[in-house]
Structure 1
Amino acid sequence: MAIFEGSFTTASNLKVGIVVARFNDLITNKILSGCLDCLKRHGLDTSETSETLDIVWVPGSFELPIAAKTLLKKSNYDVLISLGAVIRGETSHYDVVISEASKGIAQVSYDYDVPIIFGVLTTDSMQQALERAGIKNNLGWNYALQAIEMGSLIKNLN
């Protein structure tokens, strides 16, 4: 019996793309910061001149899938991370955005056989979003760890 697992020890051999929604950038900037901190501490070059990391900004979470798809057409990434923050309001817009963003990201991942970490916060309030972006815990770090694990796992399986 073979058992396959991803590695958490190093990201230095991965090519990573991050797609970030600008809407609610008070939150997404903090999540991105946590994500980059984790990747850097695990050996990925996060400098301005890095050839192993690309960051793409989009207007909102709804646009994450098309940017992810375009990135994957452009270059061979081992893993992508999609980051956004959708906070429930008084209309059904929240439900539409989350539904389409999650379905779109999943479809792009399946179509290109590349893991895409779904790092879109879905919260009922700004306070909840802030707690997940660094006040209590920065989930950006967790999303980066998931990316390292899945990127290395898929590389090992191929």
Structure 2
Amino acid sequence: MKDTPVIEGAADASGLRIALVVSAYHGAITGALRDGALDALGEAGADTAAAVTVIDAPGAFEIPFAARCAAASGRFDAVVCLGCIVRGETPHFDVLASAVCHAIAAASQSTNVPITFGVLTTNTMAEAEVRSRGNDNKGREAALAAVQLANVQRQLLW
């Protein structure tokens, strides 16, 4: 691998325009995911007041539509999807989690804009709380993945 070229996405958000699509459902969890994403973007050099836009979505099912619209607008270098789906007593969880995951992937592929998946799919609210706090905050991870992919895209396509 010594002579093999490697394209790596830098964790440098300076100059990037990022959209955060955040579900209002389970607001305490998704708010923590949003805050983690904003913190990570700021630490990576983004001007969070000028270059980051938060887009509210009513629930997880609506995230892919808002993400696709944001990506297709040409205003953003990457989109981060943040939500929380908690298993209940009906098959609704499985259907919703699968639909949201597939639709987010399709939105990214159809718009050629990096769209990352920060939608928690947990068995309990306690699991969601763990994944939305501190070092385990999946909002941070999804935001940094978006930055890295946007930087990879810049190297490959520009």
Residue segments in structure 1 that go unaligned for 5+ positions in a row: none
User: Normalised by the size of structure 2, how large is the TM-score?
Assistant: 0.92
Letter in 1 for 2:60: S
Match of 2:120 in 1: 121
Letter in 1 for 2:16: L
Return the alpha-carbon distance in structure 2 between the equivalents of residues 133 and 105 of structure 1.
20
Match of 1:154 in 2: 153
Match of 2:32 in 1: 30
Match of 1:77 in 2: 76
Match of 1:68 in 2: 67
Return the alpha-carbon distance in structure 2 between the equivalents of residues 73 and 116 of structure 1.
11
> In the TM superposition, what are the counterparts of 1:1-150 in structure 2 within 5 Å?
1-8=4-11, 10-47=12-49, 50=50, 52-134=51-133, 137-150=136-149
Instruction: Report Cα offsets for 1:108-132 as digits up to 9, x if no partner.
Output: 1000111111000000000000011
Secondary structure of the residue aligned to 2:136 is coil
Return the alpha-carbon distance in structure 1 between the equivalents of residues 151 and 6 of structure 2.
14
Identical columns (%): 36
Secondary structure of the residue aligned to 1:90 is coil
Return the alpha-carbon distance in structure 1 between the equivalents of residues 66 and 109 of structure 2.
15
Return the alpha-carbon distance in structure 1 between the equivalents of residues 79 and 128 of structure 2.
22
Letter in 2 for 1:6: G
User: Normalised by the size of structure 1, how large is the TM-score?
Assistant: 0.92
Secondary structure of the residue aligned to 1:44 is coil
Q: CA RMSD in A?
A: 1.3
Do 2:71 and 2:78's aligned partners in 1 also have CA atoms closer than 8 Å? Answer: no
Return the alpha-carbon distance in structure 2 between the equivalents of residues 77 and 146 of structure 1.
15
Q: CA deviation at 1:136?
A: 6.3
Return the alpha-carbon distance in structure 1 between the equivalents of residues 72 and 143 of structure 2.
22
Secondary structure of the residue aligned to 1:4 is coil
Return the alpha-carbon distance in structure 2 between the equivalents of residues 32 and 102 of structure 1.
18
Secondary structure of the residue aligned to 2:33 is helix
Return the alpha-carbon distance in structure 2 between the equivalents of residues 26 and 141 of structure 1.
16
Do 1:78 and 1:155's aligned partners in 2 also have CA atoms closer than 8 Å? Answer: no
Return the alpha-carbon distance in structure 2 between the equivalents of residues 148 and 106 of structure 1.
17
Return the alpha-carbon distance in structure 2 between the equivalents of residues 12 and 71 of structure 1.
19
Residue segments in structure 2 that go unaligned for 5+ positions in a row: none
The alignment covers a number of residue pairs equal to 154
Return the alpha-carbon distance in structure 1 between the equivalents of residues 39 and 98 of structure 2.
29
